[in-house]
Chains A and B, each alone.
Chain A
Amino acid sequence: MTDAPGGRESFVGVGLRSVHYSHLLSRPRVAVKWFEAISENYMDSEGRPLEVLLKIREDFPVALHGVSLSIGGVEGPRPGYLERLKTLSDRVRPFLVTDHLCFTGAHASNVHDLLPLPYTEEAVATVARNVARAQDALKRQIALENVSSYLSYRESVMTEWEFLVAVARRAGCKILLDVNNAYVSAMNHGFAAEAYVDAVPTELVAQIHLGGYTDTGKFLFDTHSRAPTDPVWALYRRVIGRMPQIPVLIEWDEDVPEWSGLEAQAVKAATIAEEERDRQPA
Chain B
Amino acid sequence: MTDSPLEILQRRFVRSVTFLSDPDFVKGATGGGTLTPEEAVDVYRKGYPARLTEALGETFEACWRVLGDEDFFAAAAAYIARTPSTSYNLSDYGASFPDFLEGGAAAHLKNSDAPFLGDLARFEWTFKELFHAKPHEGLSAAILAAQARPEAVLRFGGAVRLLSLKHRVHRIWSRDRSDASPLTPPDWTGAETLILYKDEGNPVFVYELTAPEFQALTALAAGRPLQDALASAEGLDAEGAKKLFAFIADAGIVTEVR
Q: Taking the nearest CB of chain B, how far is it from the CB of A255, in angstroms?
A: 14
The residue of chain B having its C-beta at the shortest distance from the C-beta of A112 within the complex is B51
A155 and B87 alpha carbons, distance in the complex (Å):
30
Encoded as 1 (CB less than 8 Å from any A CB) or 0, chain B from 91 to 104 comes to 11000000000000
Partner of B14, one of A46, A111, A189: A111
A44 at the interface (CB under 8 A from B): yes
Give the chain B neighbours of A105 by CB distance below 8 A: 14
The residue of chain A having its C-beta at the shortest distance from the C-beta of B90 within the complex is A112
Partner of B30, one of A81, A109, A152: A152
A27 at the interface (CB under 8 A from B): no
Interface positions, chain A 38-59, Cβ under 8 Å from B, are 40, 43-48, 51
A221 at the interface (CB under 8 A from B): yes
Contact between chains at A219 and B132 (CB < 8 Å)? no
Contact between chains at B31 and A47 (CB < 8 Å)? no
Contact between chains at B92 and A44 (CB < 8 Å)? yes
Contact between chains at A122 and B10 (CB < 8 Å)? no
The verdict on A47 contacting B133 (CB below 8 Å), with A40-B89, A68-B88, A113-B51 known, is yes
Contact between chains at A46 and B29 (CB < 8 Å)? no
A117 and B7 alpha carbons, distance in the complex (Å):
11
Partner of A151, one of B30, B34, B52: B30
Give the chain A neighbours of B43 by CB distance below 8 A: 150-151, 219, 221
The verdict on A106 contacting B6 (CB below 8 Å), with A113-B44, A152-B30 known, is no
Q: Taking the nearest CB of chain B, how far is it from the CB of A197, in angstroms?
A: 18
A108 at the interface (CB under 8 A from B): yes
B232 at the interface (CB under 8 A from A): no
Contact between chains at B9 and A118 (CB < 8 Å)? yes
Contact between chains at B133 and A107 (CB < 8 Å)? no
The verdict on A110 contacting B28 (CB below 8 Å), with A73-B10, A219-B33 known, is no
B32 at the interface (CB under 8 A from A): yes
B184 at the interface (CB under 8 A from A): no
Contact between chains at B37 and A111 (CB < 8 Å)? no
The verdict on A111 contacting B133 (CB below 8 Å), with A105-B14, A126-B6 known, is no
A8 at the interface (CB under 8 A from B): no
A153 and B9 alpha carbons, distance in the complex (Å):
10
Contact between chains at B135 and A107 (CB < 8 Å)? no
Contact between chains at B88 and A40 (CB < 8 Å)? yes
Interface positions, chain A 12-28, Cβ under 8 Å from B, are none
The A interface is mostly helix, strand or loop, or mixed, namely: mixed
A interface residues, tally (CB under 8 Å):
48
The verdict on A106 contacting B90 (CB below 8 Å), with A47-B133, A113-B51 known, is no
Contact between chains at A44 and B33 (CB < 8 Å)? no
Encoded as 1 (CB less than 8 Å from any B CB) or 0, chain A from 97 to 124 comes to 0000001111111111101011010110
Contact between chains at B90 and A219 (CB < 8 Å)? no
Give the chain B neighbours of A216 by CB distance below 8 A: 33
A154 at the interface (CB under 8 A from B): yes
Contact between chains at A187 and B33 (CB < 8 Å)? yes
A47 and B129 alpha carbons, distance in the complex (Å):
10
Partner of A153, one of B29, B34, B35, B84: B29
A279 at the interface (CB under 8 A from B): no
Q: Taking the nearest CB of chain B, how far is it from the CB of A134, in angstroms?
A: 13
Q: Taking the nearest CB of chain B, how far is it from the CB of A73, in angstroms?
A: 7
Partner of B32, one of A103, A115, A150: A150
Contact between chains at B6 and A120 (CB < 8 Å)? yes
Give the chain A neighbours of B13 by CB distance below 8 A: 106, 115
A30 and B115 alpha carbons, distance in the complex (Å):
50
Give the chain B neighbours of A40 by CB distance below 8 A: 88-90
Contact between chains at B32 and A106 (CB < 8 Å)? no
Partner of B41, one of A51, A151, A185: A151
B47 at the interface (CB under 8 A from A): yes
Contact between chains at B14 and A106 (CB < 8 Å)? yes
A218 at the interface (CB under 8 A from B): yes
B206 at the interface (CB under 8 A from A): no
A187 and B35 alpha carbons, distance in the complex (Å):
12
Contact between chains at A109 and B14 (CB < 8 Å)? yes
The residue of chain A having its C-beta at the shortest distance from the C-beta of B200 within the complex is A51
The 5 A-B pairs at the shortest CB distance, nearest first, are namely: A219-B33, A188-B32, A46-B134, A68-B88, A151-B40
25 contacts between A and B (CB under 8 A): A44-B132, A46-B134, A47-B133, A48-B131, A73-B10, A106-B7, A109-B18, A109-B85, A109-B86, A110-B87, A111-B44, A112-B48, A112-B85, A113-B44, A115-B14, A120-B5, A150-B40, A151-B30, A152-B32, A153-B30, A218-B33, A218-B34, A219-B34, A220-B33, A221-B43
